[in-house]
Amino acid sequence: MVSAGSGAKMIGMPVRFLRAVTAPLLALVFMTAAPVGAAPGSDPAALAADLVAADQALRNPSAPEQVLAAAARRQQVAYRTLGAHPEWDAIARPQIPPALLAVYDRNIDARRQLTALTPPKDSLPPWRVVPPVPANELLDCYRAAEAATGVPWNYLAAINFVETGFGRINGVSDDAAQGPMQFLPSTFAAYGNGGDIHSPRDSIMAAGRLLAANGFATNRDRAIWGYNHSDYYVRAVNDYAAVLGGDPAGFAGYYRWDTYYRTTAGDLLLPIGYASSTRIPVSEYLATHPQ
């Protein structure tokens, strides 16, 4: 929930997760190992069953928010953990019902692409983690950008998700990309139409213009690669966009996912309210924020 930090930005490039390319901010957040403090256990079949139960809970929009948030956390941890263990595939995947299998495969693949994109860090980032703007406002922004640029809303949402967890991550990448869609200021100046790089609406509109200018209508993958120069990134965005566009419960689940950061000590939760102006050694953070 990752991006992370940076590298090649094109447009910046997204951020975080990358490097010779750049890594989306959230990318660093999308991790390989299970979160510190999370006890997924060593039973992949049980973990897959819990994932299915969490997914079913998220498909009941009338459930209390507390129930939905807990289900999203279980879903996120399950995908993160199963994604980190390809050797469990033969046991876990058969536990997934046919109706959920395409969504499952996309999420597992996206996790592995983002993991390949970002190495673990020994310090935590100079970010602020904040609540995202309301879900309906984000959806309005994506739809408006689609209407104006022709870039489908689910691809804009997928990039927003991968880059900053729908705006939860407020920080600057290693190559100076910033804002909810992680633009370099120079690129935003070209596509932002005089807007605010930190505004969800302005940055989402700018992303639509950039992708359209990169030829999204005729070569989607090339346009996404132009946003962040990485084949891993392109594949992850395509995976999440497919889920968002094809599964009514996809956005609601992702919207509730937390922000985790991939470190040499495991995946650390950076809760809403996390704030630092400098990098923090992992050992120092864990001494005061056990997980």
Residue 18 in domain: no
Residue 3 in domain: no
Residue 230 in domain: yes
Mean pLDDT value of segment 36-54: 78
Residue 7 in domain: no
The tokens describing 250, both together, are 């996809």
Angle at which helix 200-213 crosses helix 153-164, to 10 degrees, equals 120
Residue 216 in domain: yes
Q: What is the pLDDT of residues 100-145, one digit of tens each?
A: 999 999 999 999 999 999 899 999 999 999 999 999 999 999 999 9
66-98 core/surface letters (b: 16 or more CB in 10 A; e: else):
eebeebbbbbbbbbbbbbbbeebeebbeebbee
38-42, 64-68, 183-187, 270-274: least confident range:
38-42
Residue 201 in domain: yes
Residue 11 in domain: no
H or E stretch at 128? strand 128-129
Residue 146 in domain: yes
Average pLDDT of every residue of the chain: 88
Entry pTM: 0.88
Tell me the residue range of the domain where 148 lies: 25-288
41 pLDDT tier (thresholds 50, 70, 90): low
Q: How many domains does the chain have?
A: 1
